């Protein structure tokens, strides 16, 4: 797997994909299907499939990784939350916004239970929910979630951190969608 990560960092996604696929094969042989490391390999392979544009295969491996994590680690585990988080992204990319929302909500709830409100993964879940609600056309709700992400980002990282800036940019988009150009401008000015 580490070779796959290195290939990916060097921009060779195809070679990274091959290494991730081989890693899953080895984990299946050595550890079997129902092992946390096998779930991680499914999860990683899904990321590479997604990067290569094969969203259906990414979804398949993401779902398999979630099933294993639920069985081995339980529903209330940070890795299970990560699976829901990634599945939400895959569902969103495939246009299944309602299922994306369902997965986003599950990821957030687990993260709130385990990590609390002021954690970067919780902020990422709030941000994701903002994007999903925006895709559903519910800009007010989207804005609420983006505001939470910004608030957490400011507390954890400060006003000038790249994550806080990312959340502010997303919040600016929601303000523009709601016709609040002045608020959007303020968000963008904070980023500059």
For the chain, give me the number of helices (H) and strands (E)? 10, 0
Q: How many CB atoms lie within 10 A of CB 189?
A: 10
Tokens of 175: 């303000």
Q: For the segment 2-47, what is each residue's pLDDT rounded down to a tens digit?
A: 444 444 454 667 887 888 899 999 999 999 999 999 999 998 899 8
Size (the chain), residues:
192
DSSP assignment, residue 179? T
SS (H, E, C) 34-85: CCHHHHHHHHHHHHHHHHCCCHHHHHHHHHHHHHHHHHHCCCCCHHHHHHHH
Average the pLDDT over 169-181 and give the result: 96
| pTM across the whole model | 0.89
Question: Hey, CA dihedral for 22, 27, 32, 38, is it positive or negative?
Answer: negative
Q: Tell me how far apart the terminal alpha carbons of the chain are, to the nearest angstrom.
A: 38
Distance (Å, whole) CA 67 – CA 28: 15
Distance (Å, whole) CA 56 – CA 124: 23
Q: For the segment 121-173, what is each residue's pLDDT rounded down to a tens digit?
A: 999 999 999 999 999 999 999 999 999 999 999 999 999 999 999 999 999 99
């Amino acid at each position: 797997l580490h070779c796959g990560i290195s290939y990916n960092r060097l921009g060779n996604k195809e070679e990274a994909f091959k290494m991730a696929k081989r890693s899953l094969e080895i984990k299946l042989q050595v550890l079997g299907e129902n092992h946390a490391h096998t779930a991680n390999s499914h999860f990683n392979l899904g990321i590479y499939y997604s990067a290569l544009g094969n969203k259906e295969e990414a979804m398949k491996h993401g779902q398999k990784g979630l099933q294993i994590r639920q069985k081995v680690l339980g529903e209330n585990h940070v890795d299970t939350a990560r699976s829901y988080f990634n599945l939400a992204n895959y569902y969103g990319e495939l246009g299944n916004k309602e299922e994306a929302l369902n997965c986003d909500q599950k990821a957030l709830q687990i993260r709130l239970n385990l990590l609390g409100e002021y954690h970067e993964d919780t902020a990422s879940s709030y941000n994701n929910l903002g994007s999903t609600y925006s895709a559903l056309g519910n800009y007010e709700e989207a804005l609420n979630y983006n505001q939470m992400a910004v608030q957490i980002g400011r507390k954890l990282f400060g006003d000038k951190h790249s994550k806080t800036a990312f959340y502010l940019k997303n919040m600016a988009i929601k303000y523009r969608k709601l016709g609040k150009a002045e608020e959007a401008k303020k968000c963008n000015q904070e980023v500059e």
